[in-house]
Amino acid sequence: MSRDSTTARSWLLVAIAMVAAVAVAHVRVAIGGKTFADLRYHAEVVPPRLAAASAVRDAELPQWWDGTGLGEPLAAEPSHGALYVPGWLATTPRAHDLLLLLHLAWAALGVAMWCRRGGASEPASLVAGLLVATSGLLASAGIRGALPALAHLPWIAVCAQSLVTERARQGGMVAGLAVLIGLVGLSGSAGGLVDAVAIAAAVGLRRAAVRPLAIAVGAGLAIASVQWIPAVLAAGDGVGTTVAPLPLGRLVELLVPGAFGAGDGVAAIAGSAPWAPSLFVGAPLCALACVRTPPRPLLVAIAGLGALALLAGRSIYPAWLGPPELHLAALALVLAGRAGAGLDALVARERRAVRALAAGAACAAAALAALVVMRGRHPGSTGAIDRALLEGGLGLACIAGALALLARIQRTAVAPILLALLALPGIGSLASTSPATARAADPAPWVATLEGRTDPAHPTQLPGTARRPAQPPPADTLPEAGVAAQRWRAPIRVFRPVYMAGGPDGREELDEALATLAGASAAGANIALARSDDPARAPAEDLAWLSSAREGGALLDRFGIAFAILPASVAMALKAPTLDTRGAWSLVELPVAQPASVMRGWSWAVADADALDLTYPIGGGTGILRGTTVLRGTGASQADRGPPLPCAIERWRPGDVELACTTDARGYAVVSSAPSRGWSVAVDDRAAAWLAADVLRRAVEIEPGAHRIRWTYATPGLTAGLALGLAGAAGLVVYALLHRRRRDS
């Protein structure tokens, strides 16, 4: 058998072993029917990714999303990860969980291969990968949507290293490196893209590899531009994200298992706005990575990643570079790539390795002592601290046992036991660093309640089904209130307070969220939540919700939001029909206007604040009648001429809305969909100009008579990004062919 085939077989076995190890470590999610216990994961991270996957399944580009607010850009918001190609494989919440685990295994396998390329043994490389796969920091990155960017970093290092050491395979390595950098960019993490380029440069920037490295990085950035050209053009349109600094006290969590940034964590350590629930990496990985001094370029990269982690969130740090925990996770992956050699040195009983592990144990003991002091000062956090003390103590005992084996037993047969002792603390603490909960029913009970609604008075507000055909059936075959007709109606929108305060800390309990309107479940059934913390929402949206509070549900009526989740006491006082009650909250139905109608009266306002003050006066009441809309701009106003005239919704798909409107007087056809850049409208097949209406809607002027109005959305900059990405891919093909010709000649 040839050496290449033996190596390939060896790596196949390593890959199988690593996937199996990750599946066993996360068996609760892999085959146990559980899901990750994190509210933001289910309400913010998963829904837009499932929407993107569903769009691709229906042979459409994921450009617009109706699943939150009054709709928002999907591809133009990087945090949605809508253009990350591997993410399109997950069209269900369970599939998304499994895809996350596959990325964990991919990251761990990349670390193992990086260690092997650095001269580490196969067992040591496997353990180094397992230490990464069982870290709370990588699991936290997964439930925050950043793991697709991080998982490729070790492989980027492997490809960059191969540019220097395997010049005969340079063409393939250039293509691989470019594709990996492109995938990091497509995942929507600007910070991850910066880290990827930095690691590639640190590992592969050698005199003999400058040109291929530059070509690979350039092509990778060209591929990433598919995501980032639209993102740059949309910058400022949405609320965006903010970055909270990393409290220095939380660094103890690197060595002690815990989830101090979770909902029931320790705010005194994690701060008020932590990004990652857990930062646990483990003392063995941190200590053994220091046994061998890395090359100077990699040492500079390590220092840079550490600086980014410490500076993130401070005033000198731009938010688009990502949270500090992201760079800390990248740093952990780089250290893991160095830990394999340290594990081999430990098995060989090298004094430097033993001392490094002992120093790591001492640091872990000091961190536990600090937690004991913290426990006395913050009695409200004793539960989370006690769990960390227990699991940290067991981990310290495992390290002590490993050191005892090294000191007393000289046989080489202890190597498997030694490596197992170092890996056990991470595996044993997964219940705390990566908690799981029972998977919710799909659809959730409230989703099922809404799916069954058939209100003859509002036929255009029927919710859609979870799946729809790729092409609509003929219009004359659709019964007005039938199931088939529901597939092409407007998404049913539900007013839902952001993180309904129901838990002891004022936030919604996870099990309550999953049992009512979990984001992934609701969006999959064509049900939109009218309030969200999504960063792509327009800044005016928050202002509109605040202003409308002056006059109760006036905004819900104007925008056609027929359902609301309200405190049970408020719902009882309103005497609105209650569809279901869970805990302190009730789902009620409200009599509201249609989501698309002709307004025969109009006023003008230059600024959003002026429009809201006009619509919802500070003293209370309603300043604008139901049949009048407030347009953005200046012009002559028209007094109200009666209630809004409903439009028939012929089609309502993400980014494609077709209406049939009839009016007896000049007016504006208004649709309850966000006025984002990228929308265009045609009236009777003729392009027309549109205006923002009522701050959060769109309007187009029409004359008396019957009209067909079609709204279509195209992500600004996506075509240019696709062209540049294809050019980068074509350049890779040309380079590979030229390199192969030079090699064969």
How do residues 443-462 score in pLDDT, each as one tens digit?
A: 888 888 887 664 433 443 33
Token look-up 């540019």 returns 163
> DSSP string of 420-453?
HHHHHHHHHTHHHHS-EEEPPPSS-HHHHHHHT-
Confirm if 94 and 34 have CB atoms less than 8 A apart. no
Lowest average pLDDT, out of 127-136, 416-425, 452-461, goes to 452-461
Confirm if 526 and 451 have CB atoms less than 8 A apart. no
Helix (H) or strand (E) holding 529: strand 527-529
pLDDT tens-digit map of 300-353: 999 999 999 999 888 888 888 999 999 999 999 999 999 999 999 999 899 999
Lowest average pLDDT, out of 157-166, 465-474, 674-683, goes to 465-474
Q: What is the mean pLDDT of residues 637-661?
A: 94
User: How many other CB atoms are there within 10 angstroms of residue 499's CB atom?
Assistant: 18
Query: What is the spatial order of strands in the sheet that 596-599 belongs to?
Result: 601-605, 628-632, 690-693, 697-702, 667-671, 596-599, 645-646
Lowest average pLDDT, out of 274-278, 456-460, 732-736, goes to 456-460
466 pLDDT higher than 60? no
Q: What is the mean pLDDT of residues 278-297?
A: 93
Q: What is the mean pLDDT of residues 284-293?
A: 93
Nearest to 713 by CA among 679, 682, 690, 674: 679
**Rounded percentage of the chain residues whose pLDDT exceeds 90:** 54
379 pLDDT higher than 90? no
Confirm if 317 and 219 have CB atoms less than 8 A apart. no
pLDDT at 3: 52
The domain limits of the chain are: 3-34+92-234+244-429, 445-594, 598-715
745 falls in which pLDDT band (50, 70, 90)?
Answer: low
248 pLDDT higher than 70? yes
Spatial distance between the Cα atoms of 395 and 411, rounded to a whole number of angstroms:
24
Most confident of 205-209, 453-457, 568-572, 718-722: 718-722
User: How many other CB atoms are there within 10 angstroms of residue 185's CB atom?
Assistant: 29
**One-letter amino acid identity for 603?**
S
pLDDT tens-digit map of 46-65: 999 999 999 999 999 999 99
8-state DSSP, 238: S
Helix (H) or strand (E) holding 85: none
pLDDT tens-digit map of 549-578: 777 678 888 899 999 988 888 888 878 889
Q: What is the mean pLDDT of residues 176-184?
A: 96
pLDDT at 694: 94
pLDDT at 621: 67
User: How many other CB atoms are there within 10 angstroms of residue 733's CB atom?
Assistant: 12
471 falls in which pLDDT band (50, 70, 90)?
Answer: very low
Strand partners, 712: 656, 680
pLDDT tens-digit map of 97-126: 999 999 999 999 999 999 998 899 988 999
Q: What is the mean pLDDT of residues 68-74?
A: 93
Nearest to 661 by CA among 705, 619, 701, 622: 705
Show the tokens assigned to 640: 């109200």
pLDDT at 48: 95
pLDDT tens-digit map of 576-627: 889 988 878 889 998 888 899 999 999 999 999 999 988 888 766 677 899 9
Spatial distance between the Cα atoms of 304 and 327, rounded to a whole number of angstroms:
9
